[in-house]
Structure 1
Amino acid sequence: MGKSASKLKIERLFSGGIITNYYCSSACRHCLYNSSPSWKKEYMTEEMADKVFKTLKNFSVFSVHIGGGEPFLNFEGLKKVINKAIENGIYIEYIETNASWVENEDEAKRKLKELKNLGVETILVSISPFHNEYIPFKKVLRLIQLLDETGIRIFPWIDGFIKEIKSLDMEKTHSLSEYKDIFGENYIRYLPQRYYLTLNGRAIKTFEEYFPTKTADEIIKNSSACLELYSKSHFHMDLFGNFIPNPCVGFRISIDDVGKELDTSKYFFVSLLYTQGVKGLFEFAKENYGYTPSKRFLNKCSLCFDIRRFLVLDKNVEAPDLGPREFYENI
């Protein structure tokens, strides 16, 4: 892979996305990035967008998707990010949205027309029971209709849920427990499979009660180096100028350091996981901060998250490669 045994180097990038903001109208129980209304209302600046897109070009990445949080919560900011993509010759594959911002139809249509005029061709519309806990489906259908009228392609993620969501009152939101009551005990258990879900972020807490769990010792016994940190496909770059490998959320690598061998002192935790796996992180936290597991875990990512959350929130450990802090607070 062209890297030393001890130092991580992100040498090539393939496909990825831009996180314009972490704050969101929802706090969906599957959210990889723990987005919620509780985050600060920060949004990617024009300067950061320019830097991110120039970095992508240097790695021969010429198309990305845009997501959040909910990108439409700062529409003027979204347009500025898109304009910087255009300036840098980066194609926007699609923009993700949960449709929460669709209130006035005329205003929503005006915004969609503005995006189309900027060259946006596709909008991903989130469709799932997770989103339906916060957004009435009528609003989602209204957005789909407006996209159709505007001539923007609709990327429904995922249309396989439409039939069951429409069977409920579309004027209201519905909890996951309602879905379980109506469609059966196993309904939630099959959601990760149907939604192609990564069991990380907030999904850890949501699904720990539905899947077999292991003790920390059982996980550590089979621990190996976390080569996922080397992931170069479906990566994300956020509004703070962080590269986030998929699916290692809660870690951050400055985009200034992408393409270089990472300094193991600056990126202590990333390097520790990359070389020793969760066993190394567990032993470090136990020996230096008295970490002891208080529950069973879904997988190694679940244990890793629990340790990092303990370090960041309970012990106030500040590290260049752990964060943002709000990621750990908004579980």
Structure 2
Amino acid sequence: MEKYVGKLKIERLFSGGVITNYYCSSACKHCLYNSSPSWKKEYMTEEIADKVFKALRKFGIFSVHIGGGEPFLNFEGLKKVINKANENGIYIEYIETNASWVENEKEARQKLKELKNLGIETILVSISPFHNEYIPLKKVLKLINLLKEVGIEIFPWIEGFLPEIKRFDIEKTHSFSEYIATFGENYVKSLPLHYYLTLNGRAIKTFEEFFPKKSVDEIIENSSPCHELNSKTHFHMDLFGNFIPNPCVGFKISIDDLEKELDSKKYFFVNMLYTKGIHELFKFAKENFGYQPQKAYLHKCSLCFDIRRFLVLEKNFEAFDLGPREFYEQY
């Protein structure tokens, strides 16, 4: 196996978030992290949280958001993570939630009050056709009313979808196909721009039938080193103590290795892509494992994901920088 010089070095970061868990009450068709109810019910520990927040401080970052998965599925775990953020002087900008946990109003109100007492000032409430497949709008509206009552700011993401979702019965969930039938394919095509979507993760499968694809030859011919792996904004630190560059999901870099030139053996694929690009990954998979691509893909990230999924799931290829495995399984 050819070695690649480890050239990627994460030296600066500007803004990002913390993933407390990957398991979720939904398996949304746009999810960047392929979250779903099928993931193991693992949650960020106090030890990892402390390590993550200390690492953030080293980079001069003093505020982050918290997301998942669905962070509220382990409320006691969420409070422990927030406490560690407070201990390390890290401000929580907002916590993301899909409102699936809002059942009993009294219990939900109490949880919000506890969060407010811990210093939480804003909650991002997910509002979209993707979430409406799993969560009835009634729950979302109930959470919004409770947040107003408790005095926590609401970050509605995205409020502009409300008129469309309200066209349906708010007591029930509604499939993506219902939205297509009601609003048409052009509506679906507008969603990535409307929602500021990154067409990666599960969004690849969802949108590849609606957008033109590029041939493998075209992607390979126009490829260049994947410097997205050195993204400094909207990165995430996950519950396993890994740094995930945006939008390069399915890759992981230990936070212990930040600020170092990444070892070429430990980070074989990260460095291959960062220094050479998708054409080298394609060549590696084809020559060593007999990888056969589809005829066309949305973009280079779509091809990259297909190759990595083939290696992880079909060839059981284990590499430190590819994972978690469930990310590839839950596509």
Q: Which amino acid aligns with 1:65?
A: H
Counterpart in the other structure of 1:179: 179
Q: Write out the 4+ residue segments of structure 1 that deviate beyond 4 Å after TM superposition.
A: none
- Encode CA deviations 1:59-115: one digit per residue, 9 max, x unaligned: 100000000000000000000000000000000000000000000000000000000
**Alignment pair present for 1:278 and 2:278:** yes
| 1:271-302 Cα shifts (integer Å, max 9, x gaps) | 00001111010000001111010342000000
**Aligned residue for 2:320?**
320
Q: Shift in Å at residue 184 of structure 1?
A: 2.0
Residue in 1 that maps onto 2:27:
27
Aligned runs of 1:17-56 on 2, under 5 Å?
A: 17-56=17-56
| Separation (CA, whole Å) in 1 of partners of 2:83 and 2:269 | 36
Asked if 1:188 is matched to 2:188, the reply is yes
Higher mean C-alpha displacement, 234-243 vs 215-224: 215-224
Aligned-residue offset at 1:185: 2.5
Q: What SS does structure 2 have at the residue aligned with 1:187?
A: helix
Secondary structure, in 3 states, of the residue corresponding to 1:17? strand
Q: 1:252-282 CA deviation, whole Å, 9 max, x = no partner? A: 0000001111001110000000011110100
Contact in 1 for aligned 2:185/2:210 (Cα 8 Å): no
Matched residue of 1:29: which SS?
Answer: coil
Q: TM-score, normalised by structure 1?
A: 0.98
Percent of residue pairs bearing the same amino acid type: 79
2:92 alignment partner AA: I
> How many angstroms apart in 2 are the aligned matches of 1:255 and 1:77?
21
Could you tell me how far apart the structure 1 residues matched to 2:310 and 2:217 are? Answer: 18
* Partner Cα distance (1:108, 1:179) in 2: 30
Which residue is equivalent to 1:218?
Answer: 218
* 2:67 maps to amino acid: G
Q: Which residue pairs with 2:156 in the alignment? A: 156
Supply the RMSD in Å over aligned alpha carbons: 0.8
Alignment-derived partner of residue 289 in structure 1: 289
Cα deviation, 1:178-214, whole Å, max 9, x if unaligned, reads 1111112311111001000000000000000000011
Shift of 1:216: 1.3
Q: Which amino acid aligns with 1:140?
A: V
1:261 maps to a residue whose letter is E
Q: Residues 140-182 of structure 1, C-alpha deviation per residue, up to 9 Å, x if partnerless? A: 0000000000000000000010111012100011111111111
Aligned mates of 1:99, 1:295 — CA distance in 2:
40
Q: Distance in 2 between matches of 1:264 and 1:98?
A: 39
| Separation (CA, whole Å) in 2 of partners of 1:122 and 1:134 | 23
- 8 Å CA contact 1:176, 1:188 repeated in 2: no
Match of 2:94 in 1: 94
Kindly provide the amino acid, as one letter, of the partner of residue 68 in structure 2.
G
> Retained in 2: the 8 A contact 1:23–1:68?
yes
Counterpart amino acid of residue 191 in structure 1:
L
| Pairs within 5 Å for 1:1-331 | 7-331=7-331
Q: CA deviation at 1:25?
A: 0.2
User: Aligned equivalents of 2:290 and 2:217: distance in 1?
Assistant: 16
Structure 1 counterpart of 2:16, which letter? G
Distance, in Å, in 1 between the alignment partners of 2:264 and 2:92 is 34
Give the distance between the partners of 1:283 and 1:97, measured in 2 at CA: 41
Q: Is the 8 A contact 2:6 2:262 kept in 1?
A: no
CA drift at 1:6: 5.4
Deviation string for 1:103-141 (max 9, x for gaps)?
A: 000000000000000000000000000000000000000
TM-score (norm 2): 0.98
